[in-house]
Amino acid sequence: MKTSLFRMTGLLALAFVAATQIAQAQEPVRATIPFAFTAGEKVLPAGEYQVEKAAQGSLALMIRRIDGSEGMFVTASATASSEPQKTSKLIFHRYGNQYFLSQVWVAGYAQGRQLRKSAKEKEQTLLARNVTREEVTIVARLY
């Protein structure tokens, strides 16, 4: 009985820690992006952007330009790394001169957000079979 109680308490504690990590893993981050990029199905111009969860518990991310001229929502799923991130960052896939937002990570957390490949990125993947896809990382800061 005591062993079961200890196991149950341990599992509940682990679940609470994991839920807290996931809930906090999308604090708002800001980054200056020096190139136009695609997020979801929309091309956004270069500039300073803020990325954050659309709402608590939501799968959607809100991406908005700081000057208010551009903004959108995209669906993202949870992703994880083996250890907490040292820096907040946005990761882009690059094919030639086209950039696609792929992941969002917040410093201190092992949980991040993964955007689905857009139809345009899938098309670029097929067209660029002989070209290596590059990953471009932009360091972000917590806001």
Q: What is the pLDDT of residues 27-59, one digit of tens each?
A: 899 999 999 999 999 999 999 999 999 888 888
Cβ atoms within 10 A of the Cβ of 131, count?
Answer: 12
CB 96 within 8 A of CB 131: yes
- pLDDT of 124: 84
Mean residue pLDDT across the chain: 83
> Mean pLDDT across the stretch 73-77?
95
Flag whether the pTM goes above 0.85: no
- With DSSP H G I counted as helix, E B as strand and the rest as coil, what are the percentages for the chain, rounded to 5? 20, 45, 35
Please name which of 14, 38, 45, 46 lies closest in space to residue 100, comparing C-alpha atoms.
38
Give backbone dihedrals phi and psi of 29, rounded to 5 degrees, phi first: -125, 150
- For residue 116, the 8-state DSSP code is P
Q: What total of structural domains would you count in the chain? A: 1
What is the band of 131 on the pLDDT scale with cuts at 50, 70, 90?
low
Range(s) of the domain holding residue 111:
2-142
**What Cα–Cα distance (Å) separates residue 12 from each residue in 7, 19, 96, 106, 110?**
9, 10, 47, 25, 19
